[in-house]
Amino acid sequence: MNMLARMAGIALLAISTAALAQSWPQKPVRFIVSLGPGSGADIGARLYADRLTKLWGHPVVVENRPGGDGVIAINAVIQAKDDHTLLWGPTANFVGHPYSLDQLPYDPKELVPVARVSGTVVTLGVPASLNVGSLKELLAQAKEKPGWLNWTTAVTMTDIILEGFLKTQGIDAGHVRYKEPASTVNDLINARIQLYSSAYAIVRAQAQSGRVKLLAVQARQRVPGLDLPTVAELGFPGLNFEGLVGIIAARSSNLPNAARDRIAADVKTVSQDPLVAERLAATAQLNVPGNGAEFAASIDEQVAQLAAAAKLLGIKPKQ
């Protein structure tokens, strides 16, 4: 009887969990996007919102809250205390915050990974006018001419990773900081900076027009439709960077585990739509869905990689 009772209890729990998952959402869902309209993350959020609206039977609304390196969007989600308000955006924003912000304006424990959605394609670009044929050739020139190489990246995390890599290569280079991608690309074209690590979408038009030469993708695997080697293929695995974009809930919202599982499962269902994969590719994003545990593991890899690079540079977290 005890065995039968336990089996009945397990069955009842499974039914209750399934019912809980199906009961969410009960009202419109908000995706708070940490980047502005037209960004890859924004386009992906709207692409999924349209399809998830049909699956969930409630509107999925996208709200852009750019600024503050993602802090504005993060705080909007945490302060909402609502299990129907979710963060949509790149993990590179908050993973780098312990190193970039003097005081963290939110509790990192509030961020609960729900679903991995996509991976932003990140490339290494140089001015075409340099006539550099490969990353090895660029690094060789930089070693021969200390202080010649000026470089920049898009976010704190890639700043630290690239600076740490250059140190391991014994290269004396200058880090130039920019606020606007447009001015960065203009300086790259005109060779005022010689190396730019950025989302492929930022430099794609200039690369296709021949004004910027791309040397590699900072990914583990080659990107379909992009004839570029990976940094690992070139012998520099330390330059790998996974530009993860996903859905995150606030712990204080008390989003049920069953609802998290449903969100991740429905994201995977949507990702199998050929049009979704095509549209993501058009915005230079890889279609790499994953559940909450897989997303959390990917974030942990980023945290460990950043910590190792920061240690090499003697940089300690500010919090």
Angle among Cα 116, 117, 119 to the nearest 5 degrees reads: 95
pLDDT of residue 156: 85
pLDDT of residue 233: 95
pLDDT of residue 112: 98
Least Cα distance to 194 among 122, 126, 124, 123 occurs for 126
pLDDT of residue 15: 44
| Ramachandran category for residue 82: left, alpha or beta (phi over 0 → left; psi -120 to 50 → alpha) | beta
For 182-237, how does the pLDDT look when each residue is reduced to its tens digit (9 = 90+)?
A: 789 999 999 999 999 998 988 999 999 999 999 999 988 888 889 999 999 999 99
DSSP H or E run through 308: helix 292-313
- Taking the domains of the chain in order of start, what are their residue ranges? 28-120+242-313, 122-239
Token digits for 243?
Answer: 């530009």
Do residues 306 and 99 make contact, with C-beta atoms less than 8 angstroms apart? yes
> Rounded CA gap, 128 and 149, in Å?
15
Intrachain domains 28-120+242-313 and 122-239 with the same fold: yes
**Sheet with 285-290, edge to edge strand ranges:** 60-64, 29-33, 85-90, 243-250, 111-120, 285-290
What's the CATH number of domain 28-120+242-313, 2.40.50.700, 3.40.190.150, 2.40.110.10, 3.40.50.150? 3.40.190.150
| CATH fourth-level superfamily of 122-239 | Periplasmic binding protein-like II (3.40.190.10)
Do residues 65 and 87 make contact, with C-beta atoms less than 8 angstroms apart? no
Q: CA separation (Å) from 241 to 49, 54, 63, 93?
A: 27, 34, 27, 13
Tens of each residue's pLDDT in the chain, 319 residues:
455 555 545 444 444 444 545 689 999 999 999 988 888 899 999 999 999 999 999 999 999 999 888 999 999 999 999 999 999 999 988 999 999 888 899 999 999 999 999 999 999 999 999 999 999 999 999 999 999 999 999 888 899 999 999 999 999 999 999 877 778 999 999 999 999 999 898 899 999 999 999 999 998 888 888 999 999 999 999 899 888 999 999 999 999 999 999 999 999 999 999 999 999 988 889 999 999 999 999 999 999 999 999 999 999 987 6
DSSP H or E run through 162: helix 156-168
Token digits for 305?
Answer: 């990689």
pLDDT of residue 19: 52
pTM of the model: 0.86
pLDDT of residue 6: 57
